[in-house]
Structure 1
Amino acid sequence: MGQHFSGTMRSFLLILALSTCYLTAAPPDMQARVEQLEKNYAKIIDLETKVGRLEAKIEKQDSLLAILEKGHHPLKDNVDINQPRRQIVILRTCHEIHVANPSHLSGMYWIDPDGQGIGDPPIHVHCDMEAPEATGDNWKWVPVKGTTSILHDSESEMDIGNCTEPGCYSRQIKYYASDRQIEALKQLSQNCTQNIKYDCRRSPLSYNETAYAWWIDKYGKTGNFSKSHCDNLDDEKPFRKLSFRNERVPLTRIHFSNPFKRSGQYEVRRLRCHGKAKTEAMPRSCEDLWLMGHTLNGIYSVRGAKQIETVFCQFDTRPNEQGFQKRIGYQDIKTRPIYFYVQKDNKFSERNVPLPFELTIVNIGGAMDLPSGVFTAPVNGTYFFSFAGLAQFPVVPDPVLREIGANLYKNGERIAISQVNKGHLVYPDNLSPITVQSTVSLQTGDEVWIQISIGISGGFLYGERQLMNQGSHTHFNGWLLEEEI
């Protein structure tokens, strides 16, 4: 009905304009007559545009009327009739409707992308449950069921007229959904696209480095059309499909021009979103929780960079809005405890080799190997190590400088050092404490050990034990401070 009315109206207005031209007194020259025809034609185009808007509104009203004639409330048409009447659930996307009930047919449905009962009211959209949708960078056509299409007031084919200045034809596109609902739908979807079908025979988008057509995105930023066969004036291909994706959709305004006064019709397609946005198996943020379907404000545990973090999620706002997520803190949740404490039971003087140990006080996690003296990190994380020993220097006949060092190594690289020395005086019993400690970031499989270096006139680690229960003078311990998960 709408198309028939539009065709009839177009013919009527054209005849009316031509009649007006011929009934009017003849202009003084041919140029004046052409200008008069152009003015009348511009009036026709303006009226045709208004007719297009009315047709879009009539289509929407017809959809609502058809639903009402079936005896259903519009907000209940995509609700399972077997549910109790009070449990009306409006899902967020056509994809969710299809997953909930794959038997649903294509048609008009109510959805609420920003969450039922919060934010903006539900929106009436077209759900494509059967036809294919373009996916992937290569635009291969594969079946994608549950595609959401948002209607707008510029869906009918329109003529850009004969204006010749760059971008002189302009039209704003108004969608039957709020900006908030559209943005929420994009965030919930795997991909969103919008196409323009353009009849561009000898009606270029750009010519001689001059842009004659462009578009405005939802941020108010201008974008130029990419080069295409439309810019080749010898190419007689009638149509060009111009495609837009993701962040810059929906289009809010378009500009065209007809510098050579040839064919110039266009049709702005609906905004189409399909699939479900990918989320981690274990949520990392309030946004992941929202994408999974959580809508209740509250405190949640999410996976942080290194720990399980606690966040407060304000789901009546959107992920891109202030206050959506507030970080509270984190919880230490380790896969297993890791710590050790070992001792030596005899003196040791061998240099430049890992220091072995004989006595195990505790070795939880089994990461410390006593015979080799090497600790192997079982998990990624931050560890703390501490070594203490008693250095003994031999008595020598002449007064000389004597030194001994204890070094902490990671994968063969020295990362910490401690050193003690004795002066020139000679004592019968030369004992000095030596310690080294460090906090180290380790990856799984990294190795850490203590290594002795002997300086001038040497020295060794004291190893005598006066009583068994008094412990050793040389001991090494370490533990996992914080695991990275």
Structure 2
Amino acid sequence: MLVRIFVSCLVLVISSAQDTPYDFQPQYDESFQGTVMARLDQLEAKVLDQELQLNSANDQINSLKEQVQRLESVLLVNISNNLKSRITEDKTSKVIGVSPYSAIFSPRTCLEARDSGLPEFKESGMYWIDPDGIGIGDGAIYVHCDMKTGTTSLGHDSEETIEIPKCTDPGCYSRSILYQNTTAKQAKALAEFSAECHQTIQVNCLGGPFTVEGIDYAWWNDVDGEIQTFWSGSDATVHTCQCGIDDYCVRPDLECNCDANVAVPLSDNGKITLKNVLPVTKLNFGRTIHNGGSHTLGKLICSGKSISPVYPRSCADLWRIGYTLNGLYPIQGDKHVEFVHCDFTLGQNVAQNRIGYVDVKSEPVQFYVQSSTSISVPNKDSPIIFNVTVLNEGGAMDISTGIFTAPKSGTYLFDFSGVSEPSTGVFSVVFYVNGVQKGSSFADDLRQFTVTLPSIWHLNKGDEVKLSISPTVGTLFSNNLYGPLLHFTGILLEEEIFTVI
């Protein structure tokens, strides 16, 4: 505009100059003026275009600034704010060590953010959290955090009361629920990390039943898209509303007020608490032949912290605890510790590949006893008693009674070897578990002088093992001249670590 004014003034000056007495007279006509004005229009158009580009760039810069400000609370934690968690103190509270590094902290829930103690999460408000783990799965989600209670609220586009239009067929009216800056995977992860999640719903009806004569005219879709017909509580197998749970429906034989299907205003209120199916992703209504029906769906609200398993049984359990680094991990198997490879790339949809089991024992159990003298027993129920203890780790072998008592449930290896004394007749060395014969080895005075009895048995904690001679006329030979000739060993091969005692 300034350029146009300047040029107009210039034209006036030139025009007035034509009337001056000077000899020099510039040649100015209408053609010249038209050319100047055309050039002026081009210049003005270029200026306007540049202004539009500058305004667009400014809007982009402001948008980026807002995104950075939102992400700073999650992704950029200042070193000074984290030093308190990295300071160690001696008995006089004198600082003796400070780590110069600050870890990136991305809370999975509002409760985790609150409990971090960081000043960034002091006030209630909108925050970015990452339930399925930072750097894996889906991106962070934008939620409201109540920092007094640690409650996480996930909003959506259907929180206001919305009218249900008239239609006749089952589910003829549907409304998809759009949640703010989130995905189904992140919503499921939030529920898994929380002790409790719920979502309230109110349906005002004028007619418009949920279910009539076994036909479902209304239902809702859960986080996986599955159809659900319970409108309150946590039992997905029963069609019910809150009035049915509390037994105050307008008709005692119905579970929902709206199921009365009458042309008078009624309503059903519910609180869905089955967290593994939340949030609601779509509402569907039908047989709404009168005006006046409406629905109101509350936010997904989660609180508390889910109880982590004492011993993780899967890569998914490890993810719930907070592990996100791909690699090899020991987990609880049915009876033993197993080794698995975990791929956390997809968040809670963690991939697990079993490698094998880990030979873990709570304590070693093994013994080796000998006898330097010949042994015979008074009757078949009497155990063979050894007089030399070479090894008795775990203390399970009682050398005074000759009885081994299993201190742990698991698989044990036993081995006995000895020689029979000549001319003592035919006899057997018998292996007993809890007084029941489980095996034996034969010896006689003509052909079989060496007696061996190896065996492997599964024992429960407290089971008793002993050796005996049957019939009792036999004698096992040993003396100090030849050194001990009678040997009995035992060892715990595999312990059932997770056996419930």
TM-score by length of 1: 0.70
Aligned to 1:223: 228
2:127 aligned with 1:109: yes
More deviation, 243-252/205-214: 243-252
Q: How much does 1:348 deviate?
A: 0.3
- Name the counterpart of 1:265: 294
Aligned to 1:412: 435
For 2:390 and 2:73, locate their aligned partners in 1 and report how far apart those are by CA, in whole Å. Answer: 71
Q: Which of the residues 292, 295, 319 maps onto 2:321?
A: 292
How far residue 384 of structure 1 moved from its aligned partner, in angstroms, is 0.5
User: 2:221, 2:369 → 1: CA distance?
Assistant: 70
What is the CA distance between 1:66 and its match in structure 2? 13
Give the SS at the match of 2:345: coil
Deviations 1:211-267, CA, capped at 9 Å, x for gaps = 221122233322223132322357975342252522222222221124452642111
| Distance change in 2, residues 1:91/1:419 (3 Å) | same
Counterpart of 2:137 in structure 1 is: 119
Aligned to 2:70: 74
Q: Closer, same or farther in 2 for the Cα pair 1:408/1:239, shift >3 Å? A: same
- Partner of residue 352, structure 2: 325
Identity %: 37
Aligned to 1:163: 167
Asked whether the equivalents of residues 98 and 104 of structure 1 are also in contact (C-alpha less than 8 Å), the reply is yes
The letter of the residue matching 1:325 is Q
Kindly indicate whether the alpha-carbon contact (under 8 Å) linking 2:336 and 2:357 is maintained by their aligned counterparts in 1: yes
Give SS of 2:449's match. strand
Are the aligned partners of 1:368 and 1:376 in contact in 2 as well (CA < 8 Å)? yes
Give CA-to-partner distance per residue, 1:426-455, whole Å, 9 cap, x none: x7x67632322211122322211112222x
Cα contact 2:194–2:306 (8 A) shared by 1: yes
1:111 Cα offset (Å): 0.8
Task: Count how many residue pairs are aligned between Structure 1 and Structure 2.
Answer: 387
1:149 partner amino acid? S
What residue is the counterpart of 1:348 in the other structure? 376
The separation in 1 between residues aligned to 2:104 and 2:366, in whole angstroms, is 55
Distance of aligned partners of 1:331 and 1:239 in 2 relative to their CA distance in 1, 3 Å threshold: closer
For 1:68-467, list aligned pairs within 5 A: 73-77=69-73, 82-83=80-81, 89-101=105-117, 104-130=122-148, 145-176=149-180, 177-200=182-205, 202-225=207-230, 226-227=239-240, 228-230=255-257, 231-233=259-261, 238-259=267-288, 261=290, 263-321=292-350, 324-344=351-371, 345-349=373-377, 350-392=379-421, 394=423, 403-420=426-443, 432-454=449-471, 459-465=473-479, 467=480
Whether 1:471 and 2:475 are equivalent positions in the alignment is no
Give the residue type in structure 2 aligned to 1:114.
Answer: D
| Secondary structure in 1 matching 2:491 | strand
Contact 1:149 1:272 survives alignment (8 Å): yes
List gaps (5 residues or longer) in structure 2: 1-61, 83-100, 231-238, 241-254
Report the CA distance shift for 1:83/1:359 in structure 2 as closer, same or farther (over 3 A): closer
- Structure 1 residues 208 and 118 mapped into 2: Cα distance closer, same or farther (>3 Å)? closer
**1:98 to 1:67, Cα distance in 2 relative to 1, 3 A:** farther
The change in CA–CA distance for 1:313 and 1:208 in structure 2 (over 3 A counts) is closer
Match of 2:37 in 1: none
Q: Aligned partners of 1:242 and 1:292: how far apart in 2? A: 28
TM-score between both structures, scaled by the size of structure 2: 0.68
Equivalent-residue separation in structure 2 for 1:263 and 1:208 (angstroms): 23
**1:307 to 1:229, Cα distance in 2 relative to 1, 3 A:** closer
Q: Distance in 2 between matches of 1:412 and 1:264?
A: 77
CA drift of 1:318 comes to 2.4
What amino acid maps onto 1:126 in structure 2? Answer: H
Kindly tell me: are residues 68 and 201 of structure 1, through their superposed partners in 2, closer, same or farther at Cα, counting changes over 3 Å? farther
Contact 1:201–1:236 (Cα < 8 Å) also in 2: yes
- Structure 1 gap ranges (5+): 1-64, 131-144, 396-401
Query: 1:258–1:264: 8 Å Cα contact kept in structure 2?
Result: no
Counterpart code for 2:112? E
